Structure 1
Amino acid sequence: MAPARASLVTLDRAHLLAGTQVLLDQVSVGVLDGDRIGVVGRNGGGKTSLLSVLTGRRTLDAGRVVRTGDVSVGMLSQTDVLAPDATVREVVLGDLDEHEWAGDARVREVLDGLLGGTAAPAVGGWDAVVGPLSGGERRRLALASLLVADPDLLVLDEPTNHLDVEGVAWLAAYLSGRRPQPGNALVVVTHDRWFLDAVSTLTWEVSDGEVHVYEGGYAAYVLAKVERQRIARVTEERRANLARKELAWLRRGAPARTSKPKFRIEAATELIEGEPPPRDSVELVRFATTRLGKDVLDLLGATIRVGERDLLTEVTWRIGPGDRFGVVGVNGAGKSTLLRVLQGEHPLAAGKLKTGKTVRMACLTQELRELDRVAGWSVIDAITEVRSFTVIGGKEVSASSLAKRLGFSGGRQQSRVGDLSGGERRRLQFVRLLMDEPNVLLLDEPTNDLDIDTLTAMEDVLDGWAGTLLVVSHDRYLLERMTDRQVALLGDGSLRDLPGGVEEYLRLRRERSRGGARGSGGRSAGMPSGAAGGAGSGGAGAGSAGAGSGPGGGMSAYSPAQVREARKTLARVEKALDRLHTQQVRLHEQMAAAATDPGELGRLTAQDADLRAQEEALELEWLEASEAAEG
């Protein structure tokens, strides 16, 4: 039997108010040794307040917080408050002597992963002053400082803000590989759904003063939430359909998201049976071609220069009607500059930009100052100033209806724009753009300030939008969900097609960091247009995305008898997991009821550890059988 896991922090009947809003209403939850908890919920719903209560930064209005006496707690806030006159060494290493941190492999790993090395950090060296550093650099310093300190309970509030795709991938690998040590736990609030799936073993949803606990990361949470809604029948049809659509996409996605049966396979299949793909690409391209013609945006032999530095050199990229591209690259690679070039706002040093005659372009920028002019208006007036009706998915949609789909309820539509939160202003900015009926849409870091519910609604709206879409984002999940193809700025003057998606980009970056990059291998920097015919322009591999089904090019390595036996094993294991899940639900209810009884809680946590061990063993058996069952 696995050893009992200790409780690090427990909330007992916690009640918390913010003015007249109830953020926590008689909530009883606990963080146990070894937990990795992802916290989700709408902006303003109480996620950050919950973290503040767990760390002792905020007191409850009623109830109590029980902490193990010697547990150390460290928290990363959304705002990095660092002394501007402090040096990088002082912020990250504090009073640690060099022989202490230089001899610690864990500390060296943190410094290499976040600061680019131990000898001379990429932020300007150990003696660089914090004041002049960018937001992304300060974020990395704050994270590095916290990870070097290595508290027992690590609490992170939006840790992926300002990190590029590579930084997010490193942080996820570190937290899931290094942090699961005896005596520690992790609680993280983030809108990055890929990060949640990569890191979390539990998900807490903060909603209407309650905290709902789900097993697993984001994929498991989506299924469990849909099941809960379906059984209880307390959620309106629109949000249930959104969740079903999201789940259907998850199940069709990369095998990494679905290989471990953290949720009931049969239940998932039943829920998404008959659910169409998120968008009909052929139909959307047909509509887009009608609206745009064959020519949209063509970069021909383009060189993009900022100061004395060439971001792109002699690049040809043809973007056709209905194309949906995601753009990735390290911070400073020139992603936002590339969008400005396509808008005609940044001149080319060489080459040519051809823009189709019917192109009507709009860009969701990282700035919100464009709303200052309408700060005194109501939300609905700010939207109808642009247009009262638009067409999405072949249907006419009113301004009020679109605003509601993106989180502005009837009452909230009468609020003053100047009184909106950052996330609400971002949503309003997006609604105004769509109402202007562009046929080419550029999104520059669209996830900033938005919660998961709003991101899901945004994706749902764009699923029915017929036009050409370019998205710059560090949010890996959003890129894979919203776009059909990805390209990368690798910092060598090229624009690289990524048939393997973000995973291929990370592999290329790892090769380059090891000094193992061998150049582009003769592949053209020019990009084939998926809808406009760019045959022959992509070179080898241009059409390889999604090709190949298994070892040997589709030839099964298993006999028919082995395949049949593997499928029987899968059925048996899935039934066992189903029974185990039911036991875990009952046990967690008992644990919540016993939050104030240390003896009983210890006995129940021992049972929980035993069930988790059984679950891991069953999952390993399932994984082994699933490979053979697929033939």
Structure 2
Amino acid sequence: MAHLLNLEGATVIHGARTVLDGVSLGLDDGARVGVVGRNGDGKSTLLRVLAGTQTLDGGRATRSRGTTLGVLSQTDDLDPSHTVRRAVVGDVPDHVWASDARIRSVLDGLLGDMLEGPAAAPGGAEALVGQLSGGQRRRVALARLMAGDDDVLLLDEPTNHLDVEGVAWLAEHLRTRWQPSQGALVVVTHDRWFLDAVVEKTWEVHDGVVDSYDGGYAAYVLARAERARIASVTAERRDNLLRKELAWLRRGAPARTSKPRFRIEAANALIAAEPPPRDAFALSRTATARLGKDVVDVEGVSLAVGEGAERRVLLDDVTWRLGPGDRIGIVGVNGSGKTTLLRLLLGQVQPDAGRVKLGKTVVTGVLSQDLRELDAVADQRVLETVEREATSVLDVATGKELTASSVVERLGFPAARAWTHVRDLSGGERRRLQLARLLVRGPNLLLLDEPTNDLDTDTLAAVEDVLDGFAGTLVVVSHDRYLLERTTDRQVALLGDGAIRDLPGGVEEYLALRHAGAGAAGAATSSVASGSSSSPSSRDDQAGPRQDGAAASAAEARAARKEVARLERQLAKLTEREAKLHDALAASAADYAAAAKLDAELRELLSEKEALEEEWLEAAEAAG
């Protein structure tokens, strides 16, 4: 197994702080490594050291001769004057890159809905990079990297700005990109599902050192908790939180618990007495007492955005009810209307038809994406901003009264950090602070829009622990499927067909529907998700109406996708035959007659292949 990268005593100092203190580690061919740690502990610095772009204050970094590196940093170096197409595939002619199934898969998996669909950039593939949003530029930079053929990939937060479907595609792509003993991957991400799906080793960066653990996120959590238990150096609250996380991992999706990457006996012993993450019955009973029977009723609502040719129907005659204690996760592609749906529930957006009725006792709390609410308190200190909302809050899960300082500490602000000015906080700290402010206000309807942005894995576990004790109705919009499965009991999807679709099978069902193209075709038979207060008869009337033109268009798109798949299979066979003919030509170089015959056969094959490629381009355009 080839040794690709090596660090010996690597030291990096920023000001008076030592970020990396004599770190030594290596990266071999076939390595798949995830990097975790608290925000600011040096994860990105470690990646820059491995890439050779970070100057070392001590030690050295070496790379095997001939090893090529592909790096995705948190800022891109794309030329703003280039088109999206050129930024991804360079000056390669269309017929060349279009015949490469891997590049086609990259464009479809990462840029599909950006080039075609609700969130499409004006101009599609010919749009200038300089005119794209930050999230779109990020995805273009990732697509360019995935379209390359590097030996080592160093990825810093690659799942940012990807929806659930994009994250699933990227995980599958990285799993199959190289043979098991070839290539190497080092990825920094807070997406815990992604870590479990892709990596086989975990590096934790903390206090200037890097600890290595075998396995993905689940194995890392177990090993860290076991080390803490044996060494008896971790505070009781931290131990309890780790056990709770382990209990969830062991009781969660089979895809996580079936991987024999850690000692099941140790996990069972560690969490034997750990109760479920939350008492759903107790929380529901408390929520009902605080909220009554009615929370939010969406009745016959239709809503469209845009004008003229840009007009899109987000909701079409939708009836949806949220009951007390419901914990709902919302998924959907970028631009499908998830944030707009939250604003509709809050009354910030008025429907074109129908009505949204809020219960009389509802007190809402909203965690927005931009966190502009904190601008007004930028000169205040963290603890002061929370105490001005309320000095204490009841933790329903334990029945204890929590002070504002306790809530702040549970969300990752130690005593010293609690007196920091709000203006000096990082993005992740701002998000934690706003969540603390919301919780101490005592809302009974909590709406969270992408709450995991900028948060590290430790903080995410702490946030989930706090949400476990929230006795009210919880609605979460997120691309983090781990968070959705961990904190919500049901998931619904916006599939672009004007309906809200219930997902009994969770995120996996959503991905299957998207893969099958059910977003456009299945609305006629899909029922709108209903809350616990919905009656069975109301479900029968909740599917939005369909137009024949839309159904026909969907059928044509499905047919085109089948045609694309058929052509790709034929192109793969022709490519295999082409390789064999080239080998035969090389072997028959001394036999003029045989070589001439093989050359004629090769020319005929290339002509057939070119015709198929043109058919593929037409079918791919029709499939969208």
TM class by smaller structure: 0.7 to 0.9
Amino acid at match of 2:494: L
Residue 40 of structure 2 is aligned to residue 21 of structure 1: no
Q: Secondary structure at the match of 1:116?
A: helix
Residue 337 of structure 2 is aligned to residue 341 of structure 1: no
What is aligned with 1:495? Answer: 500
Q: Secondary structure at the match of 1:466?
A: coil
Q: 1:180 to 1:405 in 2, by over 3 A?
A: farther
Equivalent-residue separation in structure 1 for 2:435 and 2:76 (angstroms)? 27
Residue 184 of structure 2 is aligned to residue 185 of structure 1: yes
Q: CA RMSD of the aligned region, Å?
A: 2.0
Preserved CA contact (<8 Å) 2:114 2:124: no
What is aligned with 1:424? Answer: 429
What is aligned with 2:157? Answer: 158
Question: Which structure carries more relative contact order (alpha carbon 8 Å, separation 6+)?
Answer: 1
What are the within-5 Å matches in structure 2 for residues 249-328 of structure 1?
249-307=248-306, 308-328=311-331
Unaligned runs of 5+ in 1: 543-631
What is aligned with 2:99? Answer: 103
Equivalent-residue separation in structure 2 for 1:50 and 1:358 (angstroms)? 50
1:401 Cα offset (Å)? 0.9
1:83 Cα offset (Å)? 2.4
Equivalent-residue separation in structure 2 for 1:119 and 1:300 (angstroms)? 34
Give CA-to-partner distance per residue, 1:332-359, whole Å, 9 cap, x none.
Answer: 0000000000000000111111110000
Residue 476 of structure 2 is aligned to residue 475 of structure 1: no
1:378 Cα offset (Å)? 1.2
What is aligned with 1:172? Answer: 171
What is aligned with 1:622? Answer: none
1:103 Cα offset (Å)? 2.8
Residue 41 of structure 2 is aligned to residue 36 of structure 1: no
1:494 Cα offset (Å)? 0.8
What is aligned with 2:568? Answer: none
The alignment's TM-score, normalised by the length of structure 2, stands at 0.83
Q: Secondary structure at the match of 1:300?
A: strand
Amino acid at match of 1:534: S
Give CA-to-partner distance per residue, 1:94-115, whole Å, 9 cap, x none.
Answer: 2334444233222222122222
Q: 1:120 to 1:282 in 2, by over 3 A?
A: closer
Equivalent-residue separation in structure 2 for 1:137 and 1:523 (angstroms)? 31
What is aligned with 2:530? Answer: 528
Residue 73 of structure 2 is aligned to residue 83 of structure 1: no
Give CA-to-partner distance per residue, 1:52-83, whole Å, 9 cap, x none.
Answer: 00001102111111210211111111223422
Equivalent-residue separation in structure 2 for 1:80 and 1:342 (angstroms)? 36
Equivalent-residue separation in structure 1 for 2:304 and 2:534 (angstroms)? 29
What is aligned with 1:223? Answer: 222
Amino acid at match of 2:535: G
Amino acid at match of 1:106: R
Q: Higher helix fraction: Structure 1 or Structure 2?
A: 2
What is aligned with 1:398? Answer: 403
Equivalent-residue separation in structure 1 for 2:62 and 2:385 (angstroms)? 47
Equivalent-residue separation in structure 2 for 1:344 and 1:211 (angstroms)? 48
Preserved CA contact (<8 Å) 2:114 2:136: no
Preserved CA contact (<8 Å) 1:523 1:539: no
State the structure with more CA Rg. 2
- Indicate the larger mover: 501-510 or 132-141: 132-141
1:458 Cα offset (Å)? 0.6
Q: Secondary structure at the match of 2:130?
A: coil
Residue 46 of structure 2 is aligned to residue 55 of structure 1: no
Preserved CA contact (<8 Å) 2:490 2:503: yes
Equivalent-residue separation in structure 1 for 2:66 and 2:366 (angstroms)? 51
Q: 1:180 to 1:136 in 2, by over 3 A?
A: farther
Preserved CA contact (<8 Å) 1:111 1:117: no
Stretches (4+) displaced over 6 A: 117-121
Equivalent-residue separation in structure 2 for 1:262 and 1:182 (angstroms)? 18
Q: 1:355 to 1:55 in 2, by over 3 A?
A: same
Amino acid at match of 1:528: S
Equivalent-residue separation in structure 1 for 2:534 and 2:111 (angstroms)? 43
Preserved CA contact (<8 Å) 1:120 1:126: no
Equivalent-residue separation in structure 1 for 2:538 and 2:488 (angstroms)? 21
Equivalent-residue separation in structure 2 for 1:80 and 1:539 (angstroms)? 49
Q: 1:9 to 1:297 in 2, by over 3 A?
A: same
1:368 Cα offset (Å)? 2.2
Residue 532 of structure 2 is aligned to residue 511 of structure 1: no
Equivalent-residue separation in structure 2 for 1:103 and 1:177 (angstroms)? 19
Question: How many residue pairs get matched?
Answer: 533
What is aligned with 2:126? Answer: 127
Equivalent-residue separation in structure 2 for 1:120 and 1:402 (angstroms)? 44
1:116 Cα offset (Å)? 2.5
1:268 Cα offset (Å)? 1.0
Q: Secondary structure at the match of 1:187?
A: strand
Residue 84 of structure 2 is aligned to residue 112 of structure 1: no
Preserved CA contact (<8 Å) 1:112 1:118: no
Amino acid at match of 1:131: G
Give CA-to-partner distance per residue, 1:256-278, whole Å, 9 cap, x none.
Answer: 11112111111111111121000
Preserved CA contact (<8 Å) 1:302 1:348: yes
What is aligned with 2:364? Answer: 361
Equivalent-residue separation in structure 2 for 1:78 and 1:59 (angstroms)? 18
What is aligned with 1:194? Answer: 193
Q: 1:181 to 1:97 in 2, by over 3 A?
A: farther
Equivalent-residue separation in structure 2 for 1:279 and 1:222 (angstroms)? 20
Say which of 445, 448, 466 aligns to 2:450: 445
1:311 Cα offset (Å)? 0.1
The alignment's TM-score, normalised by the length of structure 1, stands at 0.82
1:437 Cα offset (Å)? 0.9
Same amino acid, percent of matched pairs: 61
1:224 Cα offset (Å)? 0.8
- Indicate the larger mover: 210-219 or 129-138: 129-138
Give CA-to-partner distance per residue, 1:280-309, whole Å, 9 cap, x none.
Answer: 000000000111011000101111221232
Amino acid at match of 1:487: V
What are the within-5 Å matches in structure 2 for residues 554-573 of structure 1?
none
Preserved CA contact (<8 Å) 1:73 1:155: yes
1:29 Cα offset (Å)? 1.1
Give CA-to-partner distance per residue, 1:312-343, whole Å, 9 cap, x none.
Answer: 10111110000000000000000000000000
Preserved CA contact (<8 Å) 2:502 2:527: no
Residue 248 of structure 2 is aligned to residue 243 of structure 1: no
Equivalent-residue separation in structure 1 for 2:403 and 2:344 (angstroms)? 33
Equivalent-residue separation in structure 1 for 2:247 and 2:235 (angstroms)? 19
1:539 Cα offset (Å)? 5.9
Equivalent-residue separation in structure 2 for 1:287 and 1:490 (angstroms)? 33
Amino acid at match of 1:498: L
1:182 Cα offset (Å)? 5.0
